[in-house]
Amino acid sequence: MSDSKPGRTGEANSSIQQFTPKLSSELGLPSNRIQGTLELLLSDNSIPFIARYRKEATGGLDEVQIGQIQDRYQYLSDLEERRNVILNSIQEQEKLTPELEKSIREADSKQTLEDLYLPYKPKRRTRAIIAKELGLEPLAELMMNQDSNMEVLNDWIQEFNKEREEKLEDHKVLQGAKDILAEQISEDADLRRELRELTSREGSLVSNVKSEFEGKSSKFEMYYQYEEKLSRIPPHRVLAMRRGEKDHVLKIQVNVAEVSVMTLISNHWMKGRSPELRELWLEIFEESYKRLLSGSIETDIRVDLKIQADASSIEMFSKNLRQLMLQPPGGARNVLGLDPAFRTGTKWVLVNHTGRFVKHGVIYPVPPKNKIEEARQELNALLKEHKVDIVAIGNGTASREVFRFVRDWIQEEGHSLETLVVNESGASVYSASKTAREEFPDLDLTVRGAVSIARRYQDPLAELVKIEPKSIGVGQYQHDVNQSRLKQSLDRTVESCVNFVGVDLNRASFQLLEHVSGINPGLARNIVQHRNLNGSYSARNELLQVKGMGKRTFEQAAGFLRVPESENPLDHSAVHPENYSLVEQMAEQLEIPLQKMVGNEEKLKLIDVKRYEEQGIGSYTLKDIIDELHKPGRDPRDDHQTVQFDDSVSEIGDLEKGMKLPGVITNVTHFGAFIDIGVHQDGLVHISRLSKKYIKDPLEVCTVGQKVDAWVLEIDEERKRISLSLNDPGEGRSSDSSAPNKEKGPSKKSHSSEKKKKNREKKRSSSQKTETPIRKSSGNFDEDMAALMEKFNQH
């Protein structure tokens, strides 16, 4: 971002005036709010800054609405640029008629523009071009005459051959004219649009297995012979079928009834034609569609399906990511982080209350080594040397076993420690990243992973920003969607979360700072370097001493940065420095020091709001300032909560139908939600079992990180599939109840140690098998899709 405030060009102002009415109509927002928002965006203001500190200009639009305005403005700008290129190209060909120019200027989509440009677009030497070069265009025009018949056409062909040294067979002459007409039909913009609409409305997406996979098992079996209406197919199935095609297992095509297509083309092109040439025209229609139109229309349809599926998947991913990043922080506590493992041992690290790495080691309290006493002694020694407030255990392999060891150790030794399980998704990716190597160059990557787990408890947001969002594990087909759009959406989500919470200037890593409004990676490093060299910041305005921090960047960033150590309480609030003088006026009005006004509920009620409105201060700004003064520097995230898994189950073999178990939602998809119930394999709650009432979107009733009680419906140990429900299976669905009744679930069934032993032996035995059982479709495509996604996530 430039240090000096950029001015808008005349071109930018013109585009704002041009696009505002259309954006207002599309988004259902008043023109003045659209225009105010665009002016701010084109002046290089960030979305979080505009949403938080420029509400008077936007009318209080939120970040989502501002993002929509930005995206649509960019689309319209690109559309206008392409429109001008097309107009110039046709003008240079001297083929731009007033009617064509009007159609091009009124085109409101890129697809419509390209349809109109198609006849004039430079193309390879087609059959129609060859026919025109032979001089057959007059015959094509004659065929379009209402009074033509075969006799007239034959006479023309005879005359044509008289003038040629090298004679052409009659049928070849006729075919050349048909080629010209077939191409002309295929370039009819209105027809192409209606064909796409017809196909989208009546067509189907069909998948079949490729011959080399016939009779073989694969993760795409449910799509070996599958068809679904284009108008109804959900996004996740589109992406799954495309994945199967990409992996060379499936072949996919779009089908639509040929009679409907021919009827549509006839309605467009038979009017005014000779009835005597009807059969000839039907041949032309069929050839035009099969040779020129069908492939193009199918491509358009599939591209559109992909765009819609991508958008839906990216939106779901972004919503899940936001919920995960905004999970409640544990706070500034000394944390013992454990990264559980069986064979290689459980790595432990101690980080202090600021997240600084202190010490690390490895213990072997679980099979195969079972060095329980040595592990206890090592941890006891650690507690004698260092203060530990809480033990955070990663939820991966051996998590439940290590949790039980830690719980028993704490109880038997009488330690005053809390213990909880932390979502470690992405920790291994972080441990091997460049960021982790820079932060801990001398530590093994397994130790770095344990550091990430410990810090994940203290502040999930501060730690998750170090991990590539696609690696966090809350997406759906994130590697198959448009990567640039995915990155844009996820980057916007991360930026939104960071600025929503605010950043402690004296504790934030450069990875966290670079997501603050206005701050780029280079400046973030400069801020940290300045802090390391000169000590903690004592006031916000000290940022202006940092290399690369100009007044413009300071304006964008300052409101989102907190300095708890500052003597000025406003530096630890979301009040922007540009409004400090206003707050000081309020303190003077109340005749109390600023420090005594901030947080003083009774005094703040006495502020004369109308007095400041009369001075021209906006009502949005005044409300935000006063709200912030009530609770300065408050963390908007919820209080930290933990889920205690059922001690009677630790692996899939311990499960029984009807059990009611505590769990936490780890991922939300279009077809349901995945829940960690503490058995190393997430269970699936199908969308139909998330609520007693009908819901269209799982996010209506659940979010990533939410604590729930779930009932076990089905267990398939061999395929590691667990089917769950948030509704008590003993109760029916209700049309007016929106949440599952969690109070009347069946009591948990007891399990003998002998049964547990047999189940574990069965599990170990089945794990030795190398063959994958053939997967049969359950008949419920959404459930099959969920199973398919499980395999992809495991992969």
At what angle are helices 294-325 and 235-246 packed, to 10 degrees?
110
- CA 463: distance to chain centroid? 19
Q: Greater confidence, 724 or 755?
A: 724
Between 233 and 735, whose confidence is greater? 233
Q: Do the Cβ atoms of 400 and 408 come closer than 8 Å?
A: no
- DSSP H helices, 679-748, are none
Q: Residue 287: what residue type?
A: E
When pLDDT is cut at 50, 70 and 90, the band that residue 160 belongs to is very high
Domains contained in the chain, CATH given: 10-119 (1.10.10.650), 123-312 (1.10.3500.10), 335-529 (3.30.420.140), 541-630 (1.10.150.310), 652-794 (2.40.50.140)
What tokens does 568 get?
Answer: 């000025």
Q: For residue 389, count CB atoms less than 10 angstroms from its CB and return exposed for 0-12, middle for 13-18, buried for 19 or more.
A: middle
Across the range 582-606, mean pLDDT stands at 96
Quick one: pLDDT at residue 647?
85
Looking at residue 121, what is its pLDDT? 94
Query: Once rounded to an integer, what is the mean pLDDT over residues 222-233?
Result: 97
Which burial class, exposed, middle or buried, applies to 514 when counting CB atoms under 10 A from its CB (0-12, 13-18, 19+)? buried
Q: What is the pLDDT of residues 333-355, one digit of tens each?
A: 999 999 999 999 999 999 999 99
Per-residue pLDDT, 469: 87
Inform me whether the pLDDT recorded for 752 exceeds 80: no
Residue 161: predicted pLDDT: 92
What are the pLDDT digits (tens) for 114-127? Answer: 999 999 999 899 99
Question: Could you report the per-residue pLDDT of 163-209, keeping only the tens digit for each?
Answer: 888 889 999 999 999 999 999 999 999 999 999 999 999 999 999 99
| Mean predicted lDDT score pLDDT of the chain | 90
- Count Cβ neighbours within 10 Å for each residue of 615-629 and write b for 16 or more, e otherwise: eebeebbbebbbebb
pLDDT digits (tens, 9 = 90+) for 246-297: 999 999 999 999 999 999 999 999 988 999 999 999 999 999 999 999 999 9
Give yes or no for a contact between 157 and 176, defined as CB atoms under 8 angstroms apart: no
The predicted model gives 562-578 an average pLDDT of 97
| pLDDT for position 718 | 87
60-89 average pLDDT score: 98
State how far the Cα of 366 lies from the Cα of 339, in Å rounded to an integer. 13
Q: Check whether 38 has a pLDDT greater than 80.
A: yes
| pLDDT 10s digits, 120-146 | 999 899 999 999 999 999 999 999 998
pTM: 0.86
- pLDDT band (50, 70, 90) for residue 768: very low
Which of 635, 358, 653, 682 has the alpha carbon at shortest distance from 504?
Answer: 635
pLDDT at residue 792, as a whole number: 43
Separation CA 783–CA 236 (nearest Å): 12
pLDDT at 754 exceeding the cut of 80: no
Mean pLDDT on 656-664: 95
* C-alpha distances in Å from residue 547, one per residue of 49, 509, 550, 677: 22, 17, 8, 50
Percent of the chain with pLDDT over 70: 91
Work out the number of other CB atoms within 10 angstroms of the CB of residue 525. Answer: 15
What is the pLDDT, as a whole number, of residue 8?
56
The residue length of the chain stands at: 795
pLDDT at res. 734: 44
Average pLDDT over residues 77-81: 97
Confidence grade of residue 390 (pLDDT, cut at 50, 70, 90): very high
- Please check the confidence at residue 644 and state whether its pLDDT lies above 90: no
pLDDT value at 147 more than 60: yes
